[in-house]
Structure 1
Amino acid sequence: MVGIILASHGQFAAGIKQSGQMIFGEQEKVEAVTFMPNEGPADLKAHLEEAISKFDPDDEVLFLIDLWGGSPFNQANGLYEAHKDKWAIVTGLNLPMLVEAYGSRLTMNSAQEIAAHIVEAGRDGVKIKPEDLEPKSTGNAAAPAADAAPTTTNGQVGAPGSMQYVLARIDSRLLHGQVATTWTKTSGANRIIVVSDAVAHDELRKKLIMEAAPVGVHAHVVPIDQMIKLAKDDQHFGGQKALLLFENPEDALKAIEGGVPLKELNIGSMAHSVGKVQPNKVLAFNQEDIDTFKKLKDMGVKFDVRKVPGDNADNMDNILKKAQSMLDQQK
């Protein structure tokens, strides 16, 4: 496994490590090294060597550092020289770069391969609004229209009816950091489809969701009836690997009853509101929610209760029993 060392002036490395865990979950073999104002180069080198010692002897090391030419870079560079055939250094550390590095470790075993891959993610993470302030000389291709006909990676529209559902998730936040990075990466999705009547008729929310899609992945918002039609006669999304997002279990039930062939639902978050009980930190239910999940279970749908892929799955039956008991006590 590739060990990752985050190094920075001040507490930046520690802070971005925490931010990365919030999005991608707890990570093994990731160390944060901070260079404080009262420390010198020798202190910094000792911190880096201590961080490296926590990895296995045969682990390759990827340094993600805040600034080229600064003390963290200079000290890491001295250590890198003895391993430059395998280790790598990338500067300009930002959160998109770090999240991409975490995702890349799932499929790449080389520090240098990961380093070459994540540079683009770091650059693409720098965006600006209003968009017309973007420098014209960057050469970036214009983003595709939100309602443009989807294509596969080879530029061809997929065959009707051949869409692959790689993940279907219930998440009241819909498309946010954990979905845009962690779940998209681990599922291999190249299309994110938000299935919601409410969002489809809310132009602002629809626009924000489109803009939240990760680099290289297209996001779409469709009403439930339209998703049912796509599942039955897939003229646009055929050949795609689709990640479906539902805002609540009721929408998921309507889609499945209508013919969307989902055998499992990932349960991520359900926001608390008046009249709901909260049996754990991220899921809140009213009676309709509980009844809906029971209907889904009777239809043979399985539940995978996890915020991020690295979490252990919770038992949905136990969660629903607790929620029902809490609701009964309110009566």
Structure 2
Amino acid sequence: MGQINLARVDDRLIHGQVMTKWTKGFGTNSVYVVDNATAADDFMKDIYVSTNSTGGLSIKVYSATEVAEEWKKNQFGDDKVVVVFKYIKEVKEAMDAGLELKELNVGGVSKKANTKFVIPTVAIGDDEKALLKEFHDNGLEIYFQTVPDSKRVEYDSAIK
């Protein structure tokens, strides 16, 4: 049975911090990118999948419902996975479809209109805040952290 080493929201998806810092030390062998738009775009999907040669990690791209279906099949087989979601709303969609998460790292959400920073690298609006509250109230451990060696900020401290 596979294992989710990290579930993270980061709108940059795969970048240096994810590939070099979050995948080390966990025995990670795969990164699953979860973004509905990327999963529907064969060209972009191929770009992500072709990066698997760097660092020896397998890269797979799924929509939110597809990643849940993969989980329900066999809990990701033998993969030890970092699951990177582009959007908090896609975390909800995946969990509603059957993906089981115990904790969620929110580490990179860029500033947009009507959002506020909760840590220097995460800006959320009312919709994201409501989803995170729902997750938290249902027992999902949520924390905000940019990289493993930066300060981990628990949900209650960040959302005031």
Question: If the length of structure 2 is used for normalisation, what is the TM-score?
Answer: 0.90
From 73, 78, 81, the equivalent of 1:233 is 73
Equivalent positions of 1:56-75 (< 5 A) are: none
SS at match of 2:120: coil
Greater RCO between the two (CA within 8 Å, min separation 6)?
2
Cα distance in 2 for residues equivalent to 1:316 and 1:191: 27
Cα distance in 2 for residues equivalent to 1:168 and 1:315: 15
- The alpha-carbon deviation at position 204 of structure 1 amounts to 4.1
Structure 1's consecutive aligned runs of 4 or more residues displaced over 4 angstroms after TM superposition are none
Corresponding residue of 2:24 = 185
Question: If the length of structure 1 is used for normalisation, what is the TM-score?
Answer: 0.45
Cα distance in 2 for residues equivalent to 1:280 and 1:264: 18
CA contact (8 A) 1:186 1:309 kept: no
Cα distance in 1 for residues equivalent to 2:136 and 2:51: 31
SS at match of 2:119: coil
| Structure 2 residue ranges without an equivalent (≥5) | none
Do residues 174 (structure 1) and 8 (structure 2) align? no
- The alpha-carbon deviation at position 247 of structure 1 amounts to 0.8
Query: What is the root-mean-square deviation of aligned Cα atoms in Å?
Result: 1.7
Alignment deviations for residues 120-159 of structure 1 (CA, whole Å, 9 cap, x no partner):
xxxxxxxxxxxxxxxxxxxxxxxxxxxxxxxxxxxxxxxx
- The structure with the largest helix share of the pair is 1
Equivalent positions of 1:59-98 (< 5 A) are: none
CA contact (8 A) 1:170 1:245 kept: yes
Corresponding residue of 1:283 = 122
How many pairs align? 159
Cα distance in 2 for residues equivalent to 1:223 and 1:279: 27
From 45, 56, 62, the equivalent of 1:206 is 45
Cα distance in 2 for residues equivalent to 1:208 and 1:306: 27
CA contact (8 A) 1:269 1:283 kept: yes
Aligned identity (percent) is 30
Cα distance in 1 for residues equivalent to 2:122 and 2:151: 15
Larger Rg: 1
In structure 2, the CA distance between the partners of 1:268 and 1:212, relative to structure 1 (3 Å rule), is farther
SS at match of 2:113: coil
Alignment deviations for residues 195-217 of structure 1 (CA, whole Å, 9 cap, x no partner):
12111113343233234443211
From 89, 102, 111, the equivalent of 1:272 is 111
- Structure 1 counterpart of 2:155, one-letter code: M
Do residues 215 (structure 1) and 68 (structure 2) align? no
- The structure with the largest strand share of the pair is 2
Of 199-208 and 184-193, more deviation after overlay is shown by 199-208
- Structure 2 counterpart of 1:251, one-letter code: E
Corresponding residue of 1:70 = none
- The alpha-carbon deviation at position 219 of structure 1 amounts to 0.2
- Structure 2 counterpart of 1:221, one-letter code: V
Corresponding residue of 2:147 = 308
